[in-house]
Structure 1
Amino acid sequence: MTALPQPRTEQQDETGGTAASVPPTAADARPAPDRRSLALMLLFAVVGAAVVLLAAGRTWARGEVAFQSSVLHVSATGSQTTGLPSALALVALASAVAVFAVRGNARRLVGGLLALAGAAVVAACVGAATGSAALDRRAAAAVGLSTATAGHVTHAAWPWAGAAGGVLLLLAGLLVIARGRDWPGMSSRYEAPERRRVGAGTAAAANRPDHTPADLWKALDRGEDPTA
């Protein structure tokens, strides 16, 4: 009894002939980088930091303080209320850039730092949205009395805008932790020129045939050890 022939897996080419199928290589099986989530992370980080820095320069609270027979109006901006959101926004931007320079667990740590900065921005802005400590300090400085406090205090919406920016930074950090392993890293073209030059010279030397006697004499003239 004869065995049945196995089905052929060859493919026909354009001329009608057959071509043997090529097995997939490791490069073909490698998943494509998740650039969509990477772009979303960058968008969240840049927009969130920009919103926080913009809100920090705006007036967050206004009030009045009585001085003798007059009433003085006082106000406090976000940076005068607390300098934490602005500093954390810059930390978040630096963390977003550092994502491209690291991989693996180090990238997750950077994402954790970015998320922590965003959460701290939210906490600082929400705490300042209803407080009047900064305005009281401004009132005391205006009248020269440490016991003076501001009255008729009103709060603007800018602290909540800063908190929204902090939420975006938090989301950017969570994206790094969840999807950062699928993102591309920094290309070798960003390495130092000397390092690239040394690597190229090493590769050329590996591909070069054995040294001739003339090459050995030239090496001695340059003060090099040809036996090394």
Structure 2
Amino acid sequence: MTSAVPQPRAAADADGTAVPPGPRRAGGRRSMAVALSGGVLGAALVLLAAGKTWRHGSAGMAGGGVAVHVSGGQVTAVPGALALVGLAALVAVFAVRGVARRIVAGLLALCGAGALIAALLATGDGSALDAAAAAASGLTRATATDTATTGWPAVSAVGGALLLLAGVVAVLRAAVWPGMSGRYERDTTATARPSTARSAPVGDHEERPEDLWKALDRGEDPTDAL
């Protein structure tokens, strides 16, 4: 004897393969957690590294050398700016749907790739340190000597890679993620229905028979109001 209770239909994955709703939701939660944690951590690493010393050296002067150093923000402002845009894109992924969601996810991936490349290119860039040496020595053509690079450019590159990973995961899996707009609309509709149901009797008020009898007992003519 077959059951009369309808069974939930399996959802189709991106390649058309039928996937049960349970595993599909579980996979969506996992990918969402990977994108969120990777994006937030990656942006935090890039922004943290931007304020740390990337290169240091010394500027030659008549009385001896003066130590100079430059931060990541002085070497290049690109990774920090892209990290902020990436964070905004990560939030916006949950506020939009459909094609717009894929576009925003692609922007997140581009921000990560740009931050990664900018950090790698800036690793060997000594122009900012030379400018710091010239400012410290007062000589416009002075260059820094005994230069060295810290590990913070690599930290910034790792942060960019995490942002890129978050963007790629969002592009591939964001279609099965929940959206803030859909949840808000459902909550608003559910809240509005009881209010409508309660207000309906007020507008459709009709005089009841017992009200007519009470009016007659008071010596009033109920037909006067008609």
State TM-score, norm by structure 1: 0.75
2:5 counterpart residue number: 22
1:115 counterpart residue number: 109
2:217 counterpart residue number: none
Q: Alpha-carbon deviation of 1:168?
A: 0.4
Take 1:80 and 1:100, find their aligned partners in 2: how far apart are those partners? Answer: 34
1:72 matches 2:55: no
Q: Find 1:124's aligned residue among 109, 118, 122.
A: 118
1:82 counterpart residue number: 76
Contact map agreement 2:75 2:125 (CA 8 A) in 1:
no
Q: Structure 1, residues 113-171: CA drift from partner, whole Å, max 9, x if none?
A: 11111111111111111110110111111122221111121111110110011000001
Take 1:110 and 1:152, find their aligned partners in 2: how far apart are those partners? Answer: 44
Q: Structure 1, residues 60-102: CA drift from partner, whole Å, max 9, x if none?
A: 1011121123211110111121122112111111111111111
Q: Find 2:204's aligned residue among 204, 211, 215.
A: 211
1:31-46 mapped onto 2 (5 Å cutoff)? 31=21, 32-33=24-25, 34-46=28-40
Counterpart of 1:128, as a letter, is A
**Aligned pair count?**
195
1:174 counterpart residue number: 168
Counterpart of 1:211, as a letter, is D
1:149-160 mapped onto 2 (5 Å cutoff)? 149-160=143-154
Q: Structure 1, residues 5-51: CA drift from partner, whole Å, max 9, x if none?
A: xxx32xxxxxxxxxx42122569998343111000100100111111
**CA distance change for structure 1 residues 179 and 24 in 2, over 3 Å: closer, same or farther?**
same
Contact map agreement 2:95 2:181 (CA 8 A) in 1:
no
Counterpart of 2:128, as a letter, is A
Counterpart of 1:130, as a letter, is G
Q: Alpha-carbon deviation of 1:56?
A: 1.2
1:53 matches 2:53: no
Take 1:150 and 1:200, find their aligned partners in 2: how far apart are those partners? Answer: 72
State TM-score, norm by structure 2: 0.75
**CA distance change for structure 1 residues 85 and 25 in 2, over 3 Å: closer, same or farther?**
same
Structure 1 or 2: more helix by fraction: 2
Q: Secondary structure at the match of 2:94?
A: helix
Q: Alpha-carbon deviation of 1:186?
A: 1.0
Q: Secondary structure at the match of 1:47?
A: helix
Counterpart of 1:154, as a letter, is A
Take 2:141 and 2:157, find their aligned partners in 1: how far apart are those partners? Answer: 31
Q: Secondary structure at the match of 1:101?
A: coil
**CA distance change for structure 1 residues 190 and 145 in 2, over 3 Å: closer, same or farther?**
farther
1:97 matches 2:80: no
Aligned identity (percent) is 46
Take 2:9 and 2:192, find their aligned partners in 1: how far apart are those partners? Answer: 25
Structure 1: gaps (5+ residues)? 1-7, 10-19, 215-228
- What's the RMSD between the two structures over aligned residues? 2.9
Q: Alpha-carbon deviation of 1:204?
A: 3.3
Take 1:111 and 1:160, find their aligned partners in 2: how far apart are those partners? Answer: 24
